[in-house]
Structure 1
């Protein structure tokens, strides 16, 4: 069957060549030194192409090898197809030596493409990606190739190249192969190029996703402390104190690095709010005044951030944080619960607001209830909220479980419940400001 297919492809490819070949091929030295070698090159190019169209890479290989050796300048497809052929070999290779030889050839294909067809920045990016993909031990070599690609391609650098470069930057920084300042420089450059790419409307979805990844990698890297960030960004702030995009970038970065008490954050946040009042700018100022222990102003800006924010997850975050302030600084339990409920409405799968409400209830046990028994029933309502937090958000499971264990020991005992005429499993309404319906649960005496 394969022999018949091979014969068919050969006949078709020769027919395609004879009917479509341009006369100037025979006068073009890129195809060979004389008419016979040029004819052979053209035939091999056609055969290679036909096999590649139907993904018969092993059948395409002999023709590909001939054109690579004898007429490497004749077509860029030699290198495009060569990458496909050797990626296929690498994906199938089991023997480490076979895989190493295939990877060496793949790297050579990229080098020859640059030699004969240029596009060095683009091609180096893809070369670096493949080197890292197929040999994870060559982190530094892959990093150097990708960095050179970024230097050459600049804004045109493919988003996948940028993200991988930042991943390698982070890994090499933690392995003490590169300095933190180099990682920071890479972050500044890549985020700038991605921002420009987004503004220009080039592959916007990919660029936006890449930018989020780059920012997350940098935020987790730990490469920059507040002092270094101030040293890097203060000169630019002084040069362009009203550059909206820069102000957004630097304030977000300083928040992620817990540098809200820095002078640079103060100035940047205030300027951002002046030039472009927004939810983000208001939030930055709320964080700023909270750090300064000016809770009244912090609350004012939190409310403005909540009012102006359209992203529901961010709005929930702001509501939750303001709720914490109302609870911890003003003992405003009812107001804090209202904010936590708003956060739940905007982000139902987030457990922290439920935990906040549970803490509000648990903290009310000393002030709610007309007797000791009623005070202990408060913990039913608190534990209900911790259980809900655990059920909706895996990230708070351990915290919620510990709170359930802690406060369940304060449930009424069986005798007290019997004395007040209630039993396990019955419905019960907790009064005071809480006004929650819950279920009776008792603890056994040890």
Structure 2
């Protein structure tokens, strides 16, 4: 009886303690959220620390608001040791968030790495470890352009320092993996941007939320473009034709049934202008034999182009463009076809440039190409010197469209538009000709028209 009574008392005491603890947690979370929302982070801090100790799994708000609280502590710490202590504690908080709320999608491993980088704390191996974990286990939340570049940079640094037994093929694999991730993120951003650009083209007004989304996506696309350029600069000395060709020749027999290896090898040889070597054709043909796809058709097109078999190259490129379902890749192939026609067949070049834009409205390079084609026809379109120079206004319009839709081209396209406008008739010319506000039609192959600017503009 004594044993049973003791057990009942223990259960009752435990129940009462848990109830009191839950009441305290419920009270603490209210104060934590209330003080955090009003940005009274010093007042919120004790409640955060108490909940982390006594009921760390009570509510996810502990970690959502805890991040803001500790960041405020870091920003306002006056003593270096205090700042470092808060940085370390925030790293711990990120880990606790993942422990008690796994799969939260907050990207805490990336946050740990960037926090240590920002405050020049932790070793390179520690930072790389967090980034590597994030890339392999939570890639959907690894969206930081800076983190992606740092991840690649640290890996290449280890290779060059002959650390961790990293081989050249692993560097190429890491480059490909990160590039594929960058392209995936770019696709998501540019697809969203295309929807907004179509609304603008249809003269529909964007909401404030859509305007902010457009600006954010344009900024992020510019950042990803910078990262890709920086990665290329980092790897350029490791991937010259002199190094790539013997490297792939040595490995071909071993890897000739590995579709992913063949694809990446062919794409790297093509991107580094090593596609004139017979090895490129050999790899591309083997890839198309094993797995005929839009990508393999494109690579065979490149090989045919290098062999100066333009007809065959155009056949493969058209086949590739039709097979691609990805709008960006489809646009790139149509643009390549457009450049092949170039000034030799301006009508066809424009047709394929417009096909690229139909596939992807934010593909600014196609607008730039059309502007260049029109500029090369200035002397052939128009009856008078004034009309011939008026073509440049049309060129400027297309260059400005490129600047508007493609963040990566904005600076270049804007400069080009200014150059075209400088070649167009001046205000004095407009006044002397009496053409202000009139429409000039270009009845040559261009088949478009331009309205002469009014003198006040």
TM-score (normalised: structure 2): 0.60
Task: Check if 1:179 corresponds to 2:136.
Answer: no
3-state SS of the aligned residue for 1:438?
strand
3-state SS of the aligned residue for 1:332?
helix
Task: Check if 1:347 corresponds to 2:360.
Answer: yes
- Following superposition, the deviation at residue 133 of structure 1 comes to 1.5
- Following superposition, the deviation at residue 333 of structure 1 comes to 1.1
- Check conservation: 2:442, 2:448, Cα contact below 8 A: yes
Tell me what 1:92 maps to: 72
- Following superposition, the deviation at residue 335 of structure 1 comes to 1.0
My pick for the range that moved more, 159-168 or 137-146, is 159-168
Tell me what 1:434 maps to: 446
3-state SS of the aligned residue for 1:222?
helix
CA deviations on 1:218-277 (whole Å, 9 max, x unpaired) are: 844522313444565555542231322333333344444454345553333222222222
Alpha carbons of 1:20 and 1:275: their partners in 2 closer, same or farther (altered >3 Å)? farther
Tell me what 1:332 maps to: 345
Q: 1:141 aligns with which of 101, 123, 132?
A: 123
User: Which structure would you say has the larger Rg?
Assistant: 1
Tell me what 2:205 maps to: none
- Structure 2 gap ranges (5+): 1-9, 33-44, 100-106, 181-187, 189-223
- Check conservation: 2:95, 2:108, Cα contact below 8 A: no
- Check conservation: 1:170, 1:183, Cα contact below 8 A: no
CA deviations on 1:96-133 (whole Å, 9 max, x unpaired) are: 32232344567789999xxxx9xxxxxxx967852641
- Following superposition, the deviation at residue 332 of structure 1 comes to 0.6
Alpha carbons of 1:53 and 1:437: their partners in 2 closer, same or farther (altered >3 Å)? same
Tell me what 1:317 maps to: 332
My pick for the range that moved more, 51-60 or 226-235, is 51-60
Q: How does 1:209-288 map to 2 (within 5 A)?
A: 216=228, 219-220=231-232, 222-223=234-235, 224-226=238-240, 227-230=242-245, 233-288=248-303
- Structure 1 gap ranges (5+): 1-13, 22-41, 68-74, 118-124, 196-204, 206-212
Relative contact order (alpha carbons < 8 A, sep ≥ 6): 1 or 2 greater? 2
- Following superposition, the deviation at residue 336 of structure 1 comes to 0.9
Q: How many angstroms apart in 2 are the aligned matches of 1:103 and 1:401?
A: 43
- Check conservation: 1:316, 1:343, Cα contact below 8 A: yes
Tell me what 2:150 maps to: 168
- Following superposition, the deviation at residue 143 of structure 1 comes to 2.9
- Following superposition, the deviation at residue 293 of structure 1 comes to 4.4
Q: How many angstroms apart in 1 are the aligned matches of 2:179 and 2:449?
A: 52
My pick for the range that moved more, 308-317 or 248-257, is 248-257
- Following superposition, the deviation at residue 280 of structure 1 comes to 1.7
Alpha carbons of 1:233 and 1:193: their partners in 2 closer, same or farther (altered >3 Å)? farther
- Following superposition, the deviation at residue 379 of structure 1 comes to 3.8
Q: How does 1:373-392 map to 2 (within 5 A)?
A: 375-392=388-405
Q: 2:14 aligns with which of 12, 18, 30?
A: 18
- Check conservation: 1:17, 1:46, Cα contact below 8 A: no
3-state SS of the aligned residue for 2:275?
coil
Task: Check if 1:304 corresponds to 2:319.
Answer: yes
Q: How many angstroms apart in 2 are the aligned matches of 1:231 and 1:52?
A: 66
- Check conservation: 1:170, 1:221, Cα contact below 8 A: no
Tell me what 1:101 maps to: 85
Say how many residue pairs are matched: 369
Task: Check if 1:188 corresponds to 2:186.
Answer: no
TM-score (normalised: structure 1): 0.61
3-state SS of the aligned residue for 1:428?
strand
Q: How many angstroms apart in 2 are the aligned matches of 1:16 and 1:218?
A: 65
- Following superposition, the deviation at residue 303 of structure 1 comes to 1.6
Q: How many angstroms apart in 1 are the aligned matches of 2:391 and 2:57?
A: 74
CA deviations on 1:138-171 (whole Å, 9 max, x unpaired) are: 4761534644995xx7996443689887543444
Q: How many angstroms apart in 2 are the aligned matches of 1:302 and 1:321?
A: 8
Q: How many angstroms apart in 2 are the aligned matches of 1:296 and 1:432?
A: 27
Q: How many angstroms apart in 2 are the aligned matches of 1:217 and 1:256?
A: 13
CA deviations on 1:287-333 (whole Å, 9 max, x unpaired) are: 334445443333222222222222222222222221111014xx111
